[in-house]
Amino acid sequence: EVQLVESGGGLVQPGGSLRLSCAASGFTFSSYAMSWVRQAPGKGLEWVSSITGSGGTTYYADSVKGRFTISRDNSENTVYLLMNSVRAEDTALYYCARVRGASSAWHFTDWGQGTLVTVSS
């Protein structure tokens, strides 16, 4: 059974940093690209970032480019999202999601339960 467990969310001040983690199990981690998708309170889904199975290629939404960094450790079956220079508009539930393939078919077959990030002073 595929399991994705996010952690690392919490309250952070504007301009601060936070690192989210997503621990994966139940599949061959390095064979799948991974992504982060967020959902602001009461709002819809917004894609944030993706990384290929090898970790060699990354993609970012314009809203986070230059501030967030996605990475993965295939030996630890974990994907990360380092969030720098956070803003109030980054407040959201952050989901970790498994992509259908290693570097293509960029939609999400499995989702974690999310970790909440609140940006406030």
Partner 1 sequence: EIVMTQSPATLSVSPGERATLSCRASQSVSSYLVWYQQKPGQAPRLLIYGASTRATGIPARFSGSGSGTEFTLTISSLQSEDVAVYYCQQHNIWPLTFGGGTKVEIK
Helices (H), 16-67: none
Q: Does 94 bind partner 1 (CB under 8 A)?
A: no
Q: Does 1 bind partner 1 (CB under 8 A)?
A: no
Q: Does 87 bind partner 1 (CB under 8 A)?
A: no
What number of CA atoms fall less than 13 Å from residue 110's CA on the CB side?
19
Q: Does 114 bind partner 1 (CB under 8 A)?
A: yes
- Say how far apart CA 76 and CA 78 lie, in whole Å: 5
Taking CB under 8 A as the criterion, the residue among 53, 70, 86, 112 binding partner 1 is: 112
* Strand pairing report for 45-51 and 108-111: unpaired
Site residues for partner 1 per CB under 8 A? 35, 37, 44-47, 50, 59, 61-62, 95, 100, 105-114
